[in-house]
Amino acid sequence: MVHTVDSNKSKYSVRQYSLVKKACRLQEVIGRSSTEDYIMYVEGSMIPYCNITRQDILRAEDIFGPNLGSVKGKMTRRPTIHVPITWTQVPEDILWEHRNVTIVVYIMAINEIAFVVSISRNIHFGNAELI
């Protein structure tokens, strides 16, 4: 079942809808804060000369859904965990088996940006490097 803005808007009066539009504009002006923070600002009288109520904010979310500007970009990137690297000697039998390696090198362009692509025939190892 699909709910459109028009079908959601028809549940409210013209006056309520005009206050909903004001609530949406005010949320964008104050920096597109989350709905919970926005309600806290309005109920705590932190916005002077504001005639918006909690119900207007909830109606706005019912009609238009959550404000996309307040949803996007709120996640922060967490740093990755460092992976310790331990170097080991390559076994002699592997070195002996792959002592002759043929490498094929190409130059490839993607959107006029040149890359060197190399592929080893015996090991099947590929590598691409920006020129």
Chain segment 42-84, per-residue pLDDT in tens = 999 898 888 999 999 999 999 998 888 877 766 677 888 888 8
Sequence spans of domains, the chain: 5-71, 92-130
Rounded to 5°, the CA angle 22-59-5 comes to 90
Residue 19 · residue 55 · CB < 8 Å: no
Q: Please name the residues in contact with 131: beta carbons below 8 A apart, sequence gap of 6 or more.
A: 107, 114, 115, 116
Task: Look at residue 69 in the predicted model and tell me its pLDDT.
Answer: 80
